[in-house]
Amino acid sequence: MNENDRIIRTEYSEEMQKSFIDYAMSVIIARALPDVRDGLKPVQRRTLYDMHELGIRYDRPYRKSARIVGDTMGKYHPHGDSSIYEALVVMTQDFKKGMPLVDGHGNFGNIEGDGAAAMRYTEARLQKITQEAFLADLDKDVVDFVPNFDETEKEPSVLPVRIPNLLVNGSEGIAVGMTTSIPPHNLGEVIDATKAYMMNESITDRELLRYLKGPDFPTGGVVINKDELAEIYETGTGKIKLRGKVEYEHVKGGKTNVVITEIPYTMVGANIAKFLSDVAALSETKKTQDIVDISNQSSKEGIRIVIELRKDADAENFVNMLYKKTRLEDTFGVNMLAISDGRPETMGLRQIIKANVDFQYEIATRKYTNLLSRELERREVQEGLIKACNVIDLIIEILRGSKDRNMAKACLVEGKVEGIKFKSKESKIMAAQLCFTERQANAILEMRLYKLIGLELEALINEHEETMANIYRYEDILERRDSMAQVIMNELDGYKKEFGRPRKTVIENGQEAVYKEKELEEMEVMFLMDRFGYVKTIDMATYERNKEAADTENKYVFSCKNTGRICLFTNTGQMHTVKVTDLPFGKFRDKGVPIDNVSNYSSEKEELVYITSQSELNLKQVLFVTAQSMMKIVDGGEFDVSKRTVAATKLNEGDTVLSVVTLYDQKHIVIQSKNGYFLRFSVEEIPEKKKGAVGVRGMKLGAGDSLEAVYYTQNFVETTIPYKSKNLSLNNIKPGKRDGKGVKIRA
């Protein structure tokens, strides 16, 4: 082994713990969560900064998205092009962002969930507000710059955003062990709330809601829990209840169309298609018979989903049904988590505004300190030039008499006259008294002759007066917090005036949607399930006409009430229930639907053992037999449950349910083992137990043996089965007792 190599011995669990914590913190701080100051995640911040560096301003031509993504990835964000492009796409979408930060040109996706075109086809540039309120003054040392990933470039640790962007655009992100979900808000209202805080820093969250009414989603819609918003904005967590906006159109023939013109924010994307399919399913499953047609007429002008109702339909009741059974009414989970002072924190409205205002004061302090420094330098130079113009003849004499620049500069700064040829003794005495500063001397030496023109000199004096005014103003801003606050508020007013938009989302205390479901007319129907597991129901008359075909083509055929439930018993000891109304009702030759689709039953994980109606079970007893020969009788009333899945019986380890049957007039049970043992005994010997019991043993099985089949016989009715190429009469098997070994039957 190389003597320079070192093996560090460490506990595996400690190393895993440390590595996972490092990874988690990296995801939390440097990828998934926004900074409370600029409201941006690192990938968004880096993309915007890169566009700024590339000069892709709002008033310049668009540039290829691929160029932006590649440059960002190469310089600042080495995490793959897809994450950068996705961030760029979202920042262009006006249906996701309250205020888009990027101006996209090309196909950047739509509200219905269609994705953006590849980055090589689309173009982008900065929006005007992004240039003015997010990226301005980066040259004035207003934020800290840090090295990029390979220390070849510098990038801002935070952008100098002048508005509370975290509230305006909101944010969504999933980190390790935590998530953030902040709704977008109206720019004008956010600015009003910020100004209210600046004028009264002791203002409460509830008082701020007089200015910021609540979330303002780009898709509009209606927030219906106004009274709960105060608590949500105090704690930073809660649920906002959203509804789409619905209008009624009266058309010819006395019909009414329900038109959805705005959707809940949570429905953006593929959920619009899901909503349409859910509405169609309401009609298919007979939840409503009011729908004549559904059409999605949405376009660039906005959302327009039209549902045509039949003539005598109750439109309001129908809309209430949509609120109850579809995502036309939905909830937006709020968790206002952001990075504050380098750590994740769940913040209320006032905390977010306070953090942003503190950041504005920090930006303003650094900006005006930098500007004041520049003006002081400018004043120094201007005063030197004005002073030089008053003794310009002497300065020209010094310049002509000096051997080099350094000699002339030494004379101007320190009054050194050695080596300089003067025309008169008086000039030398005056030159020795000069005391320009270093900066003034450089400016004098670099001054052009045209500056000696009278008008130029006058312009210099005016410029000096302007510089003095600026110095006074900057010093006032830096020394008096009120002055700085006024500057910040004036900037905010300017952004509100230029970029403010009317509120889109209505906020109210909506009434609970009350949907009166029409009572289903109870009737007897026939349940059919074929050997492929497809189920359906048909009316009794249809069954009678096709009785022979129905009985031969289907594995399960029985009658039930259309208001009842179907019970499915499986080999894992579970019972799944299905509402009869969830099954397709139609023609005899209709295919039906797979039983897996309408129940919790999974044909990949379990096998069906028995199917019957719940109403039939209520009147009877149920006999269970397992592969390990455990059996019991359970009162059918125990299975009268509304849950979709319950445990029907308790099983020993490794055991499975072999048979479930409803008891009618069965007298004897015959159980057959895999090793060819048969045992016949009276059903009356099987005790009644609760469904949570294991049961009693039916046959003493030999090592490695298990039950293979279960049969039932009646008195005076011959029952035969095929067994080893012969017919075996079960009635001729000598009756025994439960828990016996049975008899071995050979071929």
**Which residues form the catalytic set?**
121
* Residue position matching structure tokens 């690192």: 42
The span from the CA of 226 to the CA of 240, in Å, is: 9
**In 268-355, beta strands by DSSP E:** 291-296, 305-309, 329-335, 337-340, 343-346
What is residue 694's DSSP assignment? -
The span from the CA of 685 to the CA of 740, in Å, is: 12
The span from the CA of 249 to the CA of 255, in Å, is: 9
122: how many CB neighbours lie within 10 A of its CB?
Answer: 23
The span from the CA of 614 to the CA of 439, in Å, is: 98
Q: Is 534:603 a contact under the CB 8 Å cutoff?
A: no
Helices then strands, counting H and E runs in the chain, come out as 21, 35
What is the rounded (10 degree) CA torsion for 104, 105, 108, 111? 80
- HSE at residue 247, side-chain half, CA atoms within 13 A, is 10
- HSE at residue 567, side-chain half, CA atoms within 13 A, is 27
What is residue 560's DSSP assignment? E
Query: Of 354, 135, 329, which Cα lies nearest the Cα of 239?
Result: 329
The span from the CA of 563 to the CA of 542, in Å, is: 19
Rounded to a whole number of angstroms, the distance between the first and last alpha carbons of the chain is 75
Helix (H, G, I), strand (E, B) or coil at 258: strand
**In 384-458, beta strands by DSSP E:** none
The span from the CA of 205 to the CA of 458, in Å, is: 55
The span from the CA of 107 to the CA of 379, in Å, is: 53
Query: Of 178, 138, 194, which Cα lies nearest the Cα of 161?
Result: 138
What is residue 116's DSSP assignment? P
